[in-house]
Amino acid sequence: MTQEFARTLAEISADCGRQVGVLVARSGRVEYVMVGDALVFENPNDAKELLSSFRNDPHLLAACVYDRNGHLFAAYPDDAAADSFPKLPAASGVRFVGPNVTFFQPVLDKGRLLGTVYLKSDLREMSQQLRLFALVAGFVVLGSIGVALALSLVLQRRIAQPILSLADTARMIAEKRDYSLRAASMSDDELGLLTDSFNEMLNEIERRDSLLRESEAGLRAILESALDAIITMDHQGRIIEFNPAAEKAFGYARSQAVGADAVELTLPHAFRQKHRQEMSARATTERTVQFGRRDEMAAMRSDGSEFPVELAATRIPRDGPPRFAWFVRDITERKRAEREIRQLNEELELRVVERTSQLEAANKELEGFSYSVSHDLRAPLRAIGGFSQILIDERGATLDDEGRRILKVIRDNTVRMGNLIDDLLAFSRMGRTAMRVKRLDMTHLARTVAGELTAASNLPNVDVTVGDLPAAHGDLSTLRQVWVNLISNAVKYSGTRNPATIEISGRTEAEEHIYSVKDNGVGFDMRYAGKLFGVFQRLHAASEFEGTGVGLALVQRIVHRHGGRIWAEAKPDEGATFHFALPNENAHPPGAVRTTSPKEEMTHA
């Protein structure tokens, strides 16, 4: 402060000197030429005259002009002693001499020195000025201090406060972890901006925090609501998390379980060693996240009881030692169900075996029955037929006509019964014998059968036409039987017509080939169509048309065994059409022809 003040004072005095100089210079300039002229013309009076003009300046104590040789040329005031002036002019400039200030100014004319002007002024004015300066400086200093104080107050209010408030908010947030707090914004300058940014940051933190919380809550909810027991543990197997399902499954409270050794707590002795080894192996290797598959094993409850579980162990990699998670599912119920299913299966199998043997027995019985029928029923019939024939042959002459007629009735009926037995046996055999399925040229088959039958029927007026029939997949001998029965039926029931026309045709539908036999015979009433295919069901009296009532039943059985279907349409006296359909190669498996295994074939063959 003092230094500065001294510097200020020096500047001020220098300034004063300059002002003196300037003053002189100004006067000089006004009268410069005149002084110069006075010097050139060596006219000291003129110079004196000029100097006397300083009279009005009370501070100017003395002034003089030196010639170019440094001799006093003119002086002011007039009465001043010659020795009150310096003997020789000094170098130009301002000098402080005691309380006064002196000033030398050379007078030059185009670089040529003409003389020197000397001025001596007291410093009273300057002192006054200095005092004023000092006063002003004092005020300035005081004012500055005041302003500084005011500024600091203002600044404290406007800068420090918001920053402190920011700091406070930050501290509170750190303490309470409450990211909903906000710093108050006080202005809209840079500090306001800073506060806003801080708040913005808080917003972001709060948003992330809530997201984090949400995600954690979600994860926790999963953990809490999972039906599987979930146990997480550190790399040494100490339990970290133990969810409610685990509490329920193992019988420990979470608080009891956390920190305990998972293997020790939940696994029976038999599994502990193996699992520890597994875990320590997995603790160091980064090879895989998954331990492996779900293992079925036993787990142990808090009461020591064991129960079957499915345990999946996973490794949770993280910075530092990994953690492990177990997902444990209580499979007691499933095991029980499996056991039940197994038991049921076994029972079912037993039952199947039992039923199969029953069926086999029944089948055997049936076979035995039909064998007996075939063998034993025919023997007496043969005797009746044979001996009545012999009677006719050998004793016929001794009988009258009526006797011979009666014998003929007996013989005819034995033949009829023989046929019945044969048909019935064929029908029962159809269900038991194996079919050899192969591709069959149905056109050729139908033609052959029709040819044989018309030739045998001795009916010249029967006209059979066979169209192009689609090839079939089936068993030759049984399908041949179908054609035989259907065509012979048609021949039989249209035999009274002249001509009797029989049309055999075929077509292919989406999943089946359809074959039809149409005649112009006596037909039948569709009301009785349902009885057509029943065994021993007949729509005509035996006296009208011969037949055993087995033929169509046999046909239906054969068609069904081929996975096909059969139906008829007719009108009385307008003929009948029989259709049968066999599945073709586009048919779905259920409709497919049932083939028999070689074994079955052997048994029935």
Question: At 578, which helix (H) or strand (E)?
Answer: strand 576-583
> Residue 488 Cβ, how far from other proteins at the closest point, in Å?
20
Would you count residue 381 as binding other proteins (CB under 8 A)? yes
In contact, 183 and 165? CB cutoff 8 Å: yes
Site string for other proteins, 432-461 (x = CB under 8 A): -x----------------------------
Q: Which of 425, 422, 420, 436 is nearest to 475 (CA)?
A: 436
The residue from 52, 185, 363, 389 that contacts other proteins (CB under 8 A) is 389
Task: Name the residue nearer to other proteins (CB basis): 304 or 598.
Answer: 598
Look at residue 118 and give its three-state secondary structure.
strand
Task: Name the residue nearer to other proteins (CB basis): 143 or 380.
Answer: 380
Distance in angstroms (rounded) separating the CA atoms of residues 531 and 510: 29
Would you count residue 382 as binding other proteins (CB under 8 A)? yes
The residue from 209, 234, 261, 422 that contacts other proteins (CB under 8 A) is 422
> Residue 605 Cβ, how far from other proteins at the closest point, in Å?
6
- In the window 75-114, what residues touch other proteins (CB under 8 A)? none
Task: Name the residue nearer to other proteins (CB basis): 137 or 373.
Answer: 373
Would you count residue 565 as binding other proteins (CB under 8 A)? no
End-to-end CA distance of the chain: 139
The residue from 371, 395, 496, 594 that contacts other proteins (CB under 8 A) is 371
In contact, 247 and 278? CB cutoff 8 Å: no
Would you count residue 418 as binding other proteins (CB under 8 A)? yes
Would you count residue 414 as binding other proteins (CB under 8 A)? yes
Distance in angstroms (rounded) separating the CA atoms of residues 154 and 268: 77
Distance in angstroms (rounded) separating the CA atoms of residues 64 and 505: 165
The residue from 376, 441, 525, 600 that contacts other proteins (CB under 8 A) is 376
Phi, psi of 468 (to 5 degrees): -80, 120
In contact, 511 and 526? CB cutoff 8 Å: no
8-state DSSP, 60: E
The CA–CA distances, whole Å, from 75 to 95, 109, 119, 264, 587 equal 19, 21, 10, 126, 153
Q: How many residues bind other proteins (CB under 8 A)?
A: 26
Would you count residue 28 as binding other proteins (CB under 8 A)? no
Distance in angstroms (rounded) separating the CA atoms of residues 523 and 490: 9
Residue type, 41: F
In contact, 572 and 493? CB cutoff 8 Å: no
Site string for other proteins, 140-179 (x = CB under 8 A): ----------------------------------------
> Residue 375 Cβ, how far from other proteins at the closest point, in Å?
5
Q: Which stretch binds other proteins (CB under 8 A): 146-154, 197-205, 316-324, 386-394?
A: 386-394
Query: Can you give the binding site for other proteins, defined by CB under 8 A?
Result: 370-371, 374-376, 378-383, 385-387, 389-390, 414-415, 417-418, 422, 425, 429, 433, 604-605
